[in-house]
Amino acid sequence: MANIKKGDLVQVISGRTQAKGGDRGKQGKVLEVLVEQNRVIVEGVNYATKHTRVGQTQRGTKTGGIETIEAPIHISNVALVDPETKKPTRVGHRVEEQVKDGVKRTVRVRYAKKSGKDL
């Protein structure tokens, strides 16, 4: 089971500080998890400029030019944010039994190690 999933709130824990133009300390929502490369794309973090060819649509509006997009960041450089304290925390897993429609199931649940709250 992965520690970080799409939609989680994470904080950048390494790199240059914001005072020096970096992203350390910024929080954002995970837009995409790239499992094969061990990277995540976080909203508002690690912006990169991308040049695309300028074209024209049939209506005459211009497309392309210089765009800013979020670039992937390594998964070890971000930590999940505790929903209670709003600070980075480690993730734990525990097995719980749930009864649904008379059927018992064992479910793995992620929880924040600092506060013990479910994620």
Does this model's pTM top 0.85?
no
Tell me, what's the pLDDT at 100? 84
Q: What are phi and psi of 116, to 5 degrees?
A: 85, 5
Tell me, what's the pLDDT at 58? 79
pLDDT band at 87 (very low <50, low <70, confident <90, very high): very high
Query: Does 68 score more than 60 pLDDT?
Result: yes
| pLDDT digits 0-9 by tens, 27-53 | 999 999 999 999 999 999 999 999 988
Query: What is the rounded average pLDDT of the residues 104-108?
Result: 90
